[in-house]
């Protein structure tokens, strides 16, 4: 209700903002009057704390000017670091105030202790409430209408929103769309990195689907991983150059027919596995020869032009 807003702001001003200002003044006075050998702890801890606060809050202000905002991981990391540094700087300021003063030592030290308890207490409570409100939220990167986006939200938080993707640290400020159910589930590699023997940590999963289940665990797996550079190609020793041979091309077209599109490419490399062809499991040319009762095969295509890895697995 509106009448609760004013007391809340008063509490934040009187028990958080004012104590922080007083502590900053006392920290500066302690540095001014303490001998150099006693500043060694107080000076670096305070400076690092102010730098982290500037990065967290000042960085957010700058990002907003460009329509951006921090993502959760940097906010949580910087907030936790700021909280730890606040405790350290507060304790050191109390000792610094006590050591530098001779007149009214007890009174000034008491003011410092009160401001420290008030600021850290209210800050911890406010930070805890904020953390509990966003903790159930989950960010996931995926593709929506041809654009790379960040999905945020949960069923308890009025649904899900997507924002423009701008890297691992920031995202767009204003939501592009909202709905009550997820736009996509959290994307996963589904273990294809182990299947292919590749390190895919430098890539971004832009599509990830798996339909395996039921008796026999039949189904299909489809994963698309996009890379910022050509570093993955160094790991693809032993892969064959494109274009795909007829059998592998038929498997690609089958994936496309099942709504798992692997765009045709001529520049890049491919890998194919046919688990039912024990004589030559790496050769996909005979996947569709004869009348098989089931298929257990997989195809991976790396498009050099798109810097994208496509993986499709079929188990029937």
Six token digits for residue 74? 């940097």
pLDDT digits (tens, 9 = 90+) for 217-266: 688 899 999 999 999 999 998 899 999 988 889 899 999 998 899 999 88
75 & 116 share domain: yes
Least confident of 118-122, 204-208, 222-226, 280-284: 280-284
130 & 144 share domain: no
Residue 231's alpha-carbon distances to 58, 198, 200, 212, 227, in angstroms, are 35, 11, 10, 31, 8
Residues 282, 285, 286, 288, CA torsion sign: positive
Q: Tell me the average pLDDT of the chain.
A: 84
pLDDT of res. 239: 93
Kindly state the average pLDDT of the residues 84-93: 93
pLDDT of res. 171: 95
Integer Cα distance of 222 and 211 in angstroms: 9
196 & 240 share domain: yes
> What range defines the domain where residue 99 resides?
2-134
Overall pTM surpassing 0.75 (yes/no): no
91 & 123 share domain: yes
198 & 282 share domain: yes
> In sequence order, what are the residues at sequence separation of 6 or more whose Cβ sits closer than 8 angstroms to the Cβ of residue 23?
90, 93, 112, 115, 116, 119
Integer Cα distance of 179 and 175 in angstroms: 11
43 & 164 share domain: no
Flag whether 107 is in a domain. yes
267 & 168 share domain: no
Candidate ranges 133-137, 182-186, 232-236; pick with highest mean pLDDT: 232-236
Query: How many domains does one find in the chain?
Result: 3
125 & 38 share domain: yes
Buried b (16+ CB within 10 A) or exposed e, 224-252: bbbbeeeebeeebeebbebebeebbebbb
């Amino acid at each position: 209700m509106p009448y609760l807003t004013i007391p809340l702001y008063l509490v934040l001003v009187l028990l958080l903002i004012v104590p922080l200002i007083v502590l900053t003044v006392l920290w500066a006075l302690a540095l001014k009057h303490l001998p150099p050998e006693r500043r060694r702890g107080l000076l670096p801890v305070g400076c690092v704390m102010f730098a982290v606060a500037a990065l967290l809050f000042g960085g957010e202000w700058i990002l907003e000017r460009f329509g951006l905002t921090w993502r959760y991981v940097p906010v949580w990391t910087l907030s936790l670091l700021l909280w730890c540094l606040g405790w350290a700087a507060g304790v050191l300021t109390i000792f610094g105030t006590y050591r530098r003063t001779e007149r009214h030592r007890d009174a000034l030290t008491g003011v410092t202790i009160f401001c420290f308890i008030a600021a850290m207490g209210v800050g911890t409570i406010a930070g805890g409430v904020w953390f509990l409100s966003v903790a159930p939220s989950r960010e996931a990167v995926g593709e929506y209408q041809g654009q790379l986006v960040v999905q945020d939200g949960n069923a308890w938080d009025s649904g899900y929103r997507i924002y423009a993707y701008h890297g691992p640290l920031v995202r767009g400020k204003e939501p592009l769309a909202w709905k009550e159910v997820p736009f996509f589930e959290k994307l996963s590699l589904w273990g294809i990195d182990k299947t292919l023997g590749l390190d895919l940590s430098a890539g971004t999963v832009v599509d990830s689907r798996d339909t395996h289940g039921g008796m026999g665990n039949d189904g299909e797996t489809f994963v698309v991983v996009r890379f910022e550079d050509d570093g993955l190609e160094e790991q693809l020793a032993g892969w064959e150059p494109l274009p795909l041979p007829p059998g592998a091309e038929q498997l690609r077209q089958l994936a496309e027919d099942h709504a798992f599109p692997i765009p045709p490419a001529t520049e890049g490399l491919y890998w194919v596995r046919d688990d039912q062809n024990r004589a030559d499991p790496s050769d996909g040319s005979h996947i569709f020869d004869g009348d098989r009762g089931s298929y257990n095969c997989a195809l991976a295509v790396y498009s050099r032009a798109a810097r994208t890895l496509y993986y499709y697995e079929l188990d029937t």
